[in-house]
Structure 1
């Protein structure tokens, strides 16, 4: 069975979409998913499933969250191995990047070439200090002065690329991999 990591978009951020992680775990368990674990309060859920149709799995999760919790929330799904590969590769923008200022934005789908070009053109025209690199359904983002006042926001990125996404900082990604590896190790004992 595959270990998946689902990341909910905009959960418990600034008072929007408040979800208790205990209730979220119960939603996943009600779907028959096993070894369900949440990490932090931002909608990170690790679980094990034999289902391989990701679109169907995401659809079921989103429908059940809406049914049980009353929220229509985007769910972005990756395997533990995909997240681990990102972490093991390390920061792609700069090997010496301050990992506290590095995020990876996980997109629901790979944007088309025109949308990617539009985002890169906008970014270049703004002469921003922030760095970005697109790799398939992920965008690596580096905010040397922090994300707080940056104009390179998730809303801008989603608008330019015409696909929803959710960002996680490097520390969260590392913790997701650690938690997933513990889950994986326990299953092999």
Structure 2
């Protein structure tokens, strides 16, 4: 019996301001050519779901990053996470997600675990009512006026905080959609 896992792929920093263009149809082709199954994309900002019998997220990430660089001619930081993880991120939100608009809540996904020591330069009280909390390879950000107006969001997006890792942010609506797209695992 072969187990098939459903994953989400999150690409960092593509299709922003006309730079680093990755058309979703081409991304689907690249992923399919790697032998990944049931490839789907969500929005134009670098979200995909696929199935694979591989259970090694790090190896899948390396393979996908190489394929994207080979096809598009530039490197893109990628994060691959399975459905169980994405559902846990959604379910373990420390903020009242059901009471908030999708634009008020964001999750930054990290390629590896991140401890609180990375954020000692950010003084949480200076940004209230905005808040952030760390989760498992994720940071939850509550920004009542949206990310575009968030001073805390700006402070948390400094490259120096994420040196050596891939970090990419999604709004709550996308967090929920990625969990839905990756909910099914099957035994064949």
Q: TM-score scaled by structure 2?
A: 0.85
Instruction: Indicate how the Cα distance of structure 1 residues 26 and 92 shifts in structure 2: closer, same or farther if over 3 A, else same.
Output: same
Unmatched tracts of structure 1, length 5 or more? none
- Please say if residues 89 and 136 of structure 2, whose CA atoms lie closer than 8 Å, have aligned partners that are also in contact: no
**2:30 pairs with 27, 32, 46, which one?**
27
- Please say if residues 107 and 138 of structure 1, whose CA atoms lie closer than 8 Å, have aligned partners that are also in contact: yes
- Determine the structure 1 residue equivalent to 2:169: 167
* CA distance, structure 1, for counterparts of residue 135 and residue 6 of structure 2: 22
**1:66 pairs with 60, 66, 69, which one?**
69
- Please say if residues 103 and 147 of structure 2, whose CA atoms lie closer than 8 Å, have aligned partners that are also in contact: no
State whether structure 2 residue 84 is matched by structure 1 residue 87.
no
CA displacement at 1:28 relative to structure 2: 0.6
**2:13 pairs with 10, 13, 18, which one?**
10
SS of 1:38's equivalent in the other structure is strand
- Please say if residues 93 and 131 of structure 1, whose CA atoms lie closer than 8 Å, have aligned partners that are also in contact: no
Q: CA RMSD of the aligned region, Å?
A: 2.2
Q: Which has the bigger relative contact order, CA under 8 A and spacing at least 6? A: 2
- Determine the structure 1 residue equivalent to 2:182: 180
Instruction: Indicate how the Cα distance of structure 1 residues 131 and 125 shifts in structure 2: closer, same or farther if over 3 A, else same.
Output: closer
- Determine the structure 1 residue equivalent to 2:135: 135
**1:107 pairs with 106, 110, 134, which one?**
110
